[in-house]
Chains A and B, each alone.
Chain A
Amino acid sequence: GAVVSQHPSRVICKSGTSVKIECRSLDFQATTMFWYRQFPKQSLMLMATSNEGSKATYEQGVEKDKFLINHASLTLSTLTVTSAHPEDSSFYICSARVDRRDYGYTFGSGTRLTVV
Chain B
Amino acid sequence: SQKIEQNSEALNIQEGKTATLTCNYTNYSPAYLQWYRQDPGRGPVFLLLIRENEKEKRKERLKVTFDTTLKQSLFHITASQPADSATYLCALDDMRFGAGTRLTVKP
Contacts and interface: CB of A to CB of B under 8 A. Distances in A.
Interface residues of B, number: 20
Interface string A63-105: 0000000000000000000000000000101010000001111
Interface of B: 34, 36, 41-49, 51, 89, 91, 95-100
A112 B36 CA distance: 20
A103 B59 CA distance: 13
A75 B42 CA distance: 21
Nearest to B100: A43
Q: Is the interface of A mostly helix, strand, loop or mixed?
A: strand
Interface residues of A, number: 21
Contact of A43 (B43, B51, B99): B99
Contacts of A93: 43-44
